[in-house]
Amino acid sequence: MSTAHVLLGLLAGGPRHGYDLKRAHDDRLPQAKPLAYGQVYATLGRLERDGLVAQSGQDQEAGPERTSYELTELGRERLAAWLTEVEPPAPYVSSVLFNKVVVALLAGGTDQATGYLTAQRVAHMTRMRELTATKTRPGASVGDVVAADYAIGHLDADLRWLQTTLARVAELQKEVTS
């Protein structure tokens, strides 16, 4: 996901300054990694440079002066184009999980790979329980539930892969070390 595109989307509702954009990002995408203020302002600088946003004013409340930004027509076009792009499925079958299993087999054999797979399974199950609690807590927003469902689906797929790989670790050891 592109931070620039998310900021363009947040600006689609009207002008905002960086502080508001960061707060809106963290509120609207509660399961995403929070944005750092520096990341917001650096991204706004690139968007302004590229003609996708423009300064729309400055205000100063109790703190420092804040510059508001708004979408330009080019920014609206870029946002609209991005929203119609279909995300391709991952082009490579590799992942950190898979790579660690192979390296564990090369470096320490089946015992190390099995230990890693087992520990990773525990970590995934713990995270699934946390996400399930998030979904079912009183006052959970629809956004919280949808984000948790998405993450749980990915964790579930990983758990199935971890279990299958545990069953095949000895075979994979032979293949990797031959």
Could you say which of 1.10.10.10, 1.10.645.10, 1.10.1130.10, 3.40.640.10 is the CATH number of the domain covering 3-84? 1.10.10.10
pTM for the model: 0.70
Domain boundaries, the chain: 3-84, 96-177
Enter the tokens of residue 137: 């807590």
Confidence (pLDDT) at 98: 87
Range in 84-88, 143-147, 173-177 the model is least confident about? 84-88
The model's pLDDT over 33-91, given as tens digits with 9 standing for 90+, comes to: 889 999 999 999 999 999 999 999 887 776 677 889 999 999 999 999 998 887 777 66
Q: Which of 134, 8, 23, 171 is nearest to 83 (CA)?
A: 8
Confidence (pLDDT) at 90: 67
Residues 6+ apart with CB under 8 A from 16: 10, 24, 68, 69
